[in-house]
Structure 1
Amino acid sequence: MILWVVSILFVVTYLGMAAGGIRGLRIDRSWIAGCAAVLLLVSGAQSPTEAANHLDAGALLLLLALMLISAQFDFSGVYAWLNQQLSHYAEQPALLLLGVVVLGGVLSALLVNDIVAFALTPLLCHSLLARGLDPRPFLLALALSCNAGSSASLIGNPQNILIGQAGGLDFWSYSWIAAPPALAALLITYGVIWSQWRKRWGTAKSLLQEETPVERIYGAHSYLKPLLASLVLLGLFSTDMPREISALLIAALVMISRRVDSRDYVHKVDWNLLLLFAGLFVVTGAALSLPQVAGMASSLAQLGLLPEGVISLASASLLASNLIGNVPFVILLLGVQPEASESLLVGLAIMSTLAGNLLLIGSVVNLIVAESARRQGVRLGFVDFARSGVPVTLLSMSLAGIWLVLGGWLSW
């Protein structure tokens, strides 16, 4: 009975990941994963203790802490200031595009890319619409660069956080390997979007009224707090202190404020994403704890059907990331291959992240940008995204694969 309950809920959960929800109902992937975990508990297929044992507390706490730290950048006006600096180049769209790519890539390597996309999208839409430019190429640049830049760091996106925690990867050693393909992906992003949109993004018009400088609103001194917090956090990552503990310490300190209520920081946390993580941990862990499923995974490994080299890893990442999403894919693969080598985990972090740029549904960041833009009156469609995303992804993943092979980290 337990076998059937767990198997059915596992299959339904991952079908839900592929569908993105249930037609006719306003529910999403996070609800599906969370509900499946609840049903496992209600049916008795999992006890609360067993379910808790499947959770990766370190990954969840690190993600929570990084969201709180990212919120400080918003409250301090850093995002608004950076966006205002970019808008000064509206009359030179090629430079503005370069600025968006660099900004999205750098911030996403240091902060969780979902938060960066969520904060910058409405600001970009507002400033670009006010200047009469088509926001779509710049929003594409934001989404693609947030994914590309986040691949350079173990704290850049949710799946890399999970991989780094599961494999105990060294923060700086990973970035030393991942930074070159991430930089190449950012250059490719700029080149592809520039070539496709340079004659179609419009001509900037002058503002009727100059915007109030952001530093007058927030005060230039307010920028010091998030920047100092980031530098200290990166320094702590060089010590033996667990990353989640380091991040929680910094998060607790940045939440001490005379201007912002602590509850406002809590409101900035993406609880929906944390629910998705928790639900998938429980459902996938329950399935992989079944002897039948464990035996099947062992057989697949013996037959060489699990990703091991660049080609198989890239193919699996492209297919799964754009079918069920890169976070569910990583959780599933880590469960099937708990003894994966460090090199394979590095390759998985890079490839699963870059693969999210293929289609609009491939990454949470893409959906955040599209949905946030829609609320601003800008439609970023599936075809628009694929037109840029497909060449960017294929080129960047090819170069990343060559880099991993030439560096001796993975075989073909």
Structure 2
Amino acid sequence: MDTTLFFFLMVYVAMGLGKLPGFNVDRTGAALIGAMAMMATGCISPEEAWIAVDYRTIGMLFGLMVVSGAFTESGFYAWTAQKVATLSVGPAALLAVFVAAGGGLSAVLTNDVVVVAMTPLLVSVTLTRGLNPVPFLLGFCFAANTGSAGTLIGSPQNMIAAQELNISFTGFLSVAGLPALVSLPIVWGILAWLYRGKWTLPASETQLLLPAQSETAVVLNVPETCKAAFITIAVITAFVLGVWSKELVALTAAAILLLNRKISSKDVLKQVDANLLLLISGLFIVNAGLSKTHLPQHLLHELNNWGIDLSNPLALFATSAGLSNIIGNNPTVMLLVPFLQSAHNANAIGAALALGTGFFSNLIIFGSLAGIIVVEQAARFGVKISFGTFMRAGTPVSLACMAMAALWIIFLQ
């Protein structure tokens, strides 16, 4: 048991720090090393490890990543970013459009892919207009995190929670959709207030940053975009009907989109986040190894003795929010879900996980992958978003959204 616990703790230390201390090993590497080490030392057998990897979750994630990748390759994200950012409106109204676009697209397509695809062009066009990119990028990032919390397909952690707890698409939307929608004007209002009078950059500073822009022309492949949109609508319809398994629907959609005479399947598959799929697979094995020691069951019993009942949506909401900023959204959901599979109020539990991990992830840069992506890509353009800058905006946004979501969860109970 000591060996299993050691490997488990090392993996989750890496989840929290972003790398394995003392080694050049990232989160994905740590999860895979931990899984292999558990098998090599007999903490879990290869057969048990294979069974532990939930093919349904991996299949659904992979399929939906391909669907989202098809939009990237068709030029839809870049075209949308350019159209949104070049509207003839004032800065506050433009921020509202950024927020609406970030929340809306992320609710229908995977939020991390949307952020990766659109951030560079949003930086370029805001600089071209002489605007300070920071409030617009923060608004887009925050909205992507909160808006994606509203649907089953909005983020990987939502897909994991829904699959493991057997929550339907409509069931998830009914309990998480409204607070996700309400979060968007909250994000806009706080950022508009914080950055009032700070919308523009000095001309000298704009000129220094402009050379970092990408001048690549944006071309929208209309037939391929329409094809991807039709497949997306079909996927959502199939999820709503619930006749076929989610992973089969997602994989079928992926297969149809990969069968293409114009766009190479290799280019679409480049958009799939293989690291995330490997990370989740490794964590399935590591968590299963720990479960064999019965420590999680003892921990759950102790938490109940301390008055923390994870089957209570409000308690779970607070717990998942805190953990997500320590070890990350996906590891948090995967760590907590085994405790919750027998809960009778699955929809409310799913909402607690989605809203807790989605809303509070805006507190700090490393609270979400979207935050990391925005900050790193902005830096490539010479636009610096410091930890303090992110947190000054993220703190009131997170707290306001969390307060609203807590009231909603109390209402659900």
TM-score by length of 2: 0.91
Map of 1:98 onto structure 2? 96
Q: 2:396, 2:310 → 1: CA distance?
A: 23
Q: Which of 288, 297, 300 in structure 2 is aligned with 1:297?
A: 300
Map of 1:233 onto structure 2? 235
Report the alpha carbon displacement of residue 242 of structure 1 after superposing the two structures with TM: 0.8
SS of the equivalent of 2:362 reads: coil
Percent identical among aligned pairs is 34
Map of 1:356 onto structure 2? 361
Map of 2:9 onto structure 1? 11
- Cα distance change, pair 203–248 in 1 and its aligned pair in 2 (3 A): same
Report the alpha carbon displacement of residue 55 of structure 1 after superposing the two structures with TM: 1.3
- Preserved contact between residue 21 and residue 29 of structure 1 (Cα < 8 Å): yes
SS of the equivalent of 1:365 reads: helix
After superposing the two structures, state which structure 1 stretch, 194-203 or 100-109, moved more: 194-203
Instruction: Return the letter of the residue paired with 2:380.
Output: R
Report the alpha carbon displacement of residue 25 of structure 1 after superposing the two structures with TM: 4.4
Map of 1:393 onto structure 2? 398
- Cα distance change, pair 367–94 in 1 and its aligned pair in 2 (3 A): same
Map of 2:175 onto structure 1? 177
- Preserved contact between residue 147 and residue 354 of structure 1 (Cα < 8 Å): yes
After superposing the two structures, state which structure 1 stretch, 185-194 or 82-91, moved more: 82-91
- Cα distance change, pair 401–296 in 1 and its aligned pair in 2 (3 A): closer
Q: Which of 310, 320, 324 in structure 2 is aligned with 1:321?
A: 324
- Show structure 1 runs of 5+ residues with no match: none
Q: Deviations over 1:42-100 (max 9, x none)?
A: 22222211111211211111111111000111111111111121122266221211111
Report the alpha carbon displacement of residue 159 of structure 1 after superposing the two structures with TM: 0.8
1:346 aligns with 2:351: yes
- Preserved contact between residue 317 and residue 355 of structure 1 (Cα < 8 Å): no
- Preserved contact between residue 287 and residue 293 of structure 1 (Cα < 8 Å): yes
Q: 2:117, 2:22 → 1: CA distance?
A: 29
Instruction: Return the letter of the residue paired with 1:7.
Output: L
- Preserved contact between residue 310 and residue 401 of structure 1 (Cα < 8 Å): no
- Preserved contact between residue 73 and residue 226 of structure 1 (Cα < 8 Å): yes
Q: 1:229, 1:140 → 2: CA distance?
A: 30
After superposing the two structures, state which structure 1 stretch, 226-235 or 162-171, moved more: 226-235
Report the alpha carbon displacement of residue 322 of structure 1 after superposing the two structures with TM: 0.8
Map of 2:284 onto structure 1? 281
Q: Deviations over 1:154-193 (max 9, x none)?
A: 1111111001000110101221221111111111100111
After superposing the two structures, state which structure 1 stretch, 77-86 or 22-31, moved more: 22-31
Report the alpha carbon displacement of residue 327 of structure 1 after superposing the two structures with TM: 1.2
- Preserved contact between residue 360 and residue 386 of structure 1 (Cα < 8 Å): yes
Report the alpha carbon displacement of residue 295 of structure 1 after superposing the two structures with TM: 3.3
- Show structure 2 runs of 5+ residues with no match: none
Give the 5 Å matches for 1:4-403.
4-22=2-20, 25-89=23-87, 92-202=90-200, 214=218, 217-239=219-241, 240-301=243-304, 304-309=307-312, 311-340=314-343, 341-342=345-346, 343-403=348-408
Q: 1:120, 1:241 → 2: CA distance?
A: 32
Q: RMSD in angstroms over aligned alpha carbons?
A: 2.2
Q: 1:107, 1:257 → 2: CA distance?
A: 24
- Cα distance change, pair 376–90 in 1 and its aligned pair in 2 (3 A): farther
Q: 2:400, 2:43 → 1: CA distance?
A: 45
Pairs aligned (count): 401
Q: 1:196, 1:39 → 2: CA distance?
A: 48
Instruction: Return the letter of the residue paired with 1:162.
Output: I
Q: 2:223, 2:89 → 1: CA distance?
A: 29
Q: 2:364, 2:175 → 1: CA distance?
A: 26
SS of the equivalent of 2:189 reads: helix
- Preserved contact between residue 76 and residue 220 of structure 2 (Cα < 8 Å): no
Q: Deviations over 1:186-231 (max 9, x none)?
A: 1110011111113112069999xxx8984xx334334211211111
Report the alpha carbon displacement of residue 35 of structure 1 after superposing the two structures with TM: 1.1
